A and B are shown apart, each in its own frame.
Chain A
Amino acid sequence: MDVIDWLRANIAVPVLVFLGVFFVSLWLRRLIYNALERWLKERNTEIGRIVVSATRGPFLHWLLILGAYIAIQVSVLTPRWKSDSGIILASIFIAYLGWILIRLGRDLVQLYLNKAKVPQRAITVTTNIIQVAIIVIGILILLELWRAPTTPILIAAIAVIVIAILALRDIFPSLVSGLQLTQQKQIKAGDCIRLESGEEGRVEEITWRNTQIKTLDGSIIIIPNTRLMQTTIINYGKQPKVAKEPFQFSTRLHLKELTGLNARNLSQLVSRLNEVPDAVVYYHTHSFVEEYQFLTPEPTNDFALWVQDALGYDILAERLASIDTFEFPTIGTLRQMVVGVIRDFLAQTSNEREAPLGNEFHFIKSISVVLPTPYVAHDLREFVGILRRISIGSLFFHIFEAKLRLQRGTNDFSLWLEDCLGEQELAEQITRLDPYNYTMENLREIIISLCEKRL
């Protein structure tokens, strides 16, 4: 009987209180979580689903801890025991809450950053930072509960944070920039981009610190994300149609070989012209285009200039200057035309003039030295980008030498555009351009402009 009375007096009340809280908790959890699930169904939010699923079980446990706490408080235990038990229960609650927050934080960060296509390395770093922060805060609260000194730990934590910030000062801006770049979808792997500073190429990879770009000459450049965020980027988007065969840009450097042959009058000029190799005729019909790029070129040739300056035959000079080099498929036919015009003139001239001493016509031979460049275009976008940066020598080779000297019928660009990219119209537009009527830089701009219209 005494035992029953003792139990009734000392245990029954706390047990009843605990059981009451337990049943209320069950009822409350059902009420709250059912309402939340209904709300989630309407909203269809992934974040809410994670929060609900992570807290559904622990919610009951937390209320049970609360129930245990209230039960102890209404029990007959001494105040000292009550206080110590309260601290233990609070510690359990804080540890449990911290654990749940860490799980929740990890899941939410992964969800958010994965959606933003942030590299896995950045996700791991962010998750670790959050975990450490929750653990540190939890430990500080526990120490406070147990009345342990927290100042040294606070100082140590601040020191660690400062050191971490200093060590990672370059990483954070890059990380943030990387997040911005990917979240705002300004650029993504596979995009063709051009920076304000002139770098151009295809985005290979965006890491949490850098973006790797494969440039037009095939090299990889690594640009910090912070720099990318601060510069103007032209994003051309995805790679356009890929050519069947890439276009390998070559460059042509030239040497001038002196033949030692010269002429002082028209008869000598014609006679020599018939003897000299094609490379000599080529030189004297193209040197003006090549050498006076700062002046608007006239469609002229060295023969016309010499006939006018050294011999003073204005009419013949005009006839020679009006020979349209663009019309001729081979140097041989061009040579025949020049010789024919001079012969026609000679047939009507009785007294030939002699050039003053020192003003003879010197026959020069053009030696072309052709080298492959690192530039290879796989599509029209790359082709335009490379056109912007190749040398005048490269442009000259593919436009002038390809057609007349290598007798390819037209320029190399048109051939590739038609055969490898199926761009017949664009190829034809470039074929129709008479390159002898433009400066080399103008020619470059016109071809770029035609290609860009197509893009």
Chain B
Amino acid sequence: MNPKTNVKDYEPIVGKSYIEELRMLASRLSGKTILNINSTFVGGGVAEILSRLVPLLNQLGVDVRWQVIPGEAQFFKVTKKFHNALHGKEEPISNDDFSLFLETTEKNLNQIDFSGDILFIHDPQPVALIAKKNDIGKEWVWRCHIDISQPDSKVWEFLKQFVVNYDAGVFSSPNFAQELPIRQFFAPPSIDPLSEKNKELPPEAVETVLAKYGLNPDKPLILQVSRFDRLKDPLGVIKAFELVRKNFACQLVLAGGTASDDPESEEVLTEVKERAGTNPDIHILDILPGSDIDINALQMAATIIMQKSLREGFALTITEALWKAKPVVASAVGGIPLQVKDKLTGLLCHSIEGAAYALRQILANPDYGRWLGRNGKEHVRQHFLITREIRDYMLIFLTLERKEDIIYL
């Protein structure tokens, strides 16, 4: 986060009254400490959101801290398997994997400083730290960023034994709610409109990035930005593109990176490169973490932005695309329909052919694409900016002990 970014800088984007309300909520949290715990400081949506959310909440006067659980590569390999299994993918998970998970958690329980009034635990990797609740009490909230609408029952049952001990759970989509004895809140994630990845870039900066990656600025550009992960279906994207390219001159960019907690991404990247072969209009860009300006420029230059995931928690890349008023073609999975309202803020698809059809519709009707893009931007302004996520979390923290439907603060 730009250290100079101030909460007030969001006023022109969301309005003065919105920021006033954030300050009102923050003042009511005064004196409480909130400790976030997740698995990585860099790479992936969770780390990205926390790196912006924590300083902004601090600026508002809320004492928010952030810790990362330590773990060996083997531990993260297991949690990656959990991640895939929770998304519904079949994974060979053995009892040894569960044991390794518990052993690492046990070590972490002794290493982590749990000083805070509210413990805000993100995703499955640190979920079992709830064991500490018996010793220290306090309020515990589990933030699930991933799609657990159809989880592998073995993994979910294993994790559920920890989740039920939390005071509340927070999910990115109503589809992800489970039958749990705890309160479950719906809070979609968000993007920061002032970040390097989302701020408005001058045309020259966009041109420079296109030249850097050898892209033709005059040819319609179809873009998918995501980690090289099978659940993002990069091979399906290539196939849909090939169907469209028969009738429309266009180019495809698959831009991605890797996260420290995702050991599988290198393997997928190799597969995608092989599938793309020597097609001059398919560009596979392995973008290093931190190349936010490059991603921003690619999104600004894109004609259409795709997210053809097979499973998806929320897909912040769609939020970024909508914020740039780009027409989006995305799979109707996970939390995507929350952002892409079919034919209103983008086009949804259920298959490779459906994706190709949607791409053709927009390529043939640029005005339609622009209308979708404008609606998409307003949708994001109202629901998926970081200011809204901050507000939701503060509301959750403030109302954890209140059970009424109408709460007067």
* Bound Cα distance from A292 to B338, whole angstroms: 12
Interface locus among A51-59, A97-105, A346-354, A369-377 = A369-377
Partner-binding segment picked from A6-14, A69-77, A357-365: A357-365
Central interface residue in B175, B375, B381, by most chain A CB within 10 Å: B175
B179 at the interface (CB under 8 A from A): yes
Contacts of B180 in A (CB 8 A): 260
Contact of A369 among B20, B344, B407 (CB under 8 A): B407
Q: Are A370 and B171 in contact (CB under 8 A)?
A: no
Judge whether A294 and B375 touch: CB under 8 Å: yes
Q: When the two chains form the complex, which single residue of B25, B179, B184, B379 contacts A257, counting CB atoms closer than 8 Å?
A: B184
Q: Are A389 and B171 in contact (CB under 8 A)?
A: no
B406 touches A362 (CB 8 A): no
Given contacts A259-B177, A369-B407, A370-B408, 8 further A-B pairs with CB under 8 A are A253-B391, A254-B395, A255-B185, A278-B405, A368-B406, A373-B20, A391-B15, A391-B18
- What residues of chain B have their CB less than 8 Å away from a CB belonging to chain A? 15-18, 20-21, 24-25, 28, 149-150, 171, 174-175, 177-180, 183-187, 332-333, 344, 375, 378-379, 381-383, 391-392, 395-396, 398-399, 405-409
Contacts of B392 in A (CB 8 A): 255
| A391 CB to nearest B CB, Å | 4
Q: Are A362 and B175 in contact (CB under 8 A)?
A: yes
Asked if A260 contacts B25 (CB within 8 A), the reply is no
Q: A258-B171, A260-B184, A391-B17 are in contact. Are A293 and B382 (CB under 8 A)?
A: yes
A245-271 interface bits toward B, Cβ cutoff 8 Å, 1 = contact, 0 = none: 000000101111111101000000000
Contacts of B177 in A (CB 8 A): 258-260, 262, 362
Chain A, 52-106, CB within 8 A of any chain B CB = none
Chain B residues with CB under 8 Å of A368's CB are 405-407
Could you pull out 18 A-B pairs where Cβ atoms are within 8 angstroms?
A253-B391, A253-B395, A256-B186, A258-B171, A262-B177, A293-B378, A295-B344, A358-B149, A358-B150, A365-B405, A367-B399, A369-B395, A369-B409, A370-B409, A371-B24, A371-B409, A391-B20, A391-B21
A237 sits at the interface (CB 8 A): no
Query: What separation, in Å, do the CA atoms of A32 and B360 have in the docked complex?
Result: 102
Closest chain-A Cβ to B321's Cβ sits at a distance in Å of 17
Given contacts A255-B392, A389-B16, contact A367 B375 (CB under 8 A): no
Q: Does A394 contact B (CB under 8 A)?
A: yes
Is A369 within 8 A of B186, CB to CB?
Answer: no
The chain B residue sitting closest to A365, CB to CB, is B405
Task: Tell me the minimal C-beta distance from A296 to chain B in angstroms.
Answer: 12
Measured between beta carbons, the chain A residues less than 8 angstroms from B24 are 251, 371, 373
Complex Cα gap A124–B274 (Å): 88
Contacts of B396 in A (CB 8 A): 255
Kindly state whether residue A390 has any CB partner on chain B within 8 Å.
Answer: yes
Determine if B375 and A295 form an interchain contact, defined as CB atoms under 8 angstroms apart: yes
Of B15, B150, B379, B409, which is within 8 A of A294 by CB? B379
Residues of B within 8 A of A251 (CB): 17, 21, 24
Proximity string of chain A (278-289) to chain B, C-beta cutoff 8 Å, 1 when within and 0 when not: 110000000000
Most chain B beta-carbon contacts within 10 A, residue among A255, A256, A364, A393: A255
Selected from B21, B174, B175, B183, the residue in CB contact (under 8 A) with A371 is B21
In-complex Cβ contact of B399 among A255, A364, A393 (8 A): A255
Instruction: Please indicate the chain B residues that have their CB under 8 angstroms from the CB of A293 in the complex.
Output: 378, 382
Q: How many angstroms between the C-alpha atoms of A398 and B211 in the bound complex? A: 54
B21 touching A367 by the CB < 8 A rule? no
Interfacial chain A residues near B398, Cβ < 8 Å: 369
Q: Which of A256, A362, A389 contacts B17 (CB 8 A)?
A: A389
CB pair A260 B21 closer than 8 Å: no
Please list the 7 inter-chain residue pairs (A to B) with the smallest Cβ-Cβ separation, ordered nearest first. Answer: A294-B378, A391-B17, A362-B174, A258-B177, A279-B405, A256-B186, A258-B184
Q: Which residue of B lies closest to A256 (CB)?
A: B186
Q: Which residues of A contact B16 (CB under 8 A)?
A: 389
Most B Cβ at <10 Å: residue of A253, A362, A401, A406: A253
The answer on a CB contact under 8 Å between B407 and A256 is no
A405–B407 CA distance with the chains assembled, in angstroms:
13
CB pair A256 B21 closer than 8 Å: no
In the complex, are the beta carbons of B379 and A260 less than 8 A apart?
Answer: no
Best-surrounded residue of A254, A256, A393, A406 (most CB of chain B within 10 A): A256
Expressed in whole angstroms, the minimum distance between the Cβ of A439 and any Cβ of chain B is 11
Distance to closest chain A CB from B307 (angstroms): 16
A2 at the interface (CB under 8 A from B): no
Bound Cα distance from A253 to B25, whole angstroms: 10
Q: Is A366 an interface residue (CB 8 A)?
A: yes
Q: Check if A277 is an interface residue, CB within 8 A of chain B.
A: yes
Residues of A within 8 A of B379 (CB): 292, 294
Contact in complex: B375, A394 (CB < 8 Å): no
**Is A275 interfacial (CB-CB < 8 Å)?**
no
B90 to chain A, nearest CB (A): 17
Cβ of A291 < 8 Å from any Cβ of B?
A: yes
Closest B residue, CB atoms, query A282:
B405
B391 touches A257 (CB 8 A): no
Complex partner residue of A370 from B149, B375, B407, CB under 8 angstroms = B407
**Nearest-Cβ distance from residue B48 to partner chain A, whole angstroms:** 23
Chain A, residue nearest B406 (CB): A368
Which residues from B are CB-within-8-Å of A360?
A: 175
CB neighbors of B among A205-254 (8 A): 251, 253-254
By a CB distance below 8 angstroms, the chain B residues around A389 are 16-17
A257 touches B185 (CB 8 A): yes
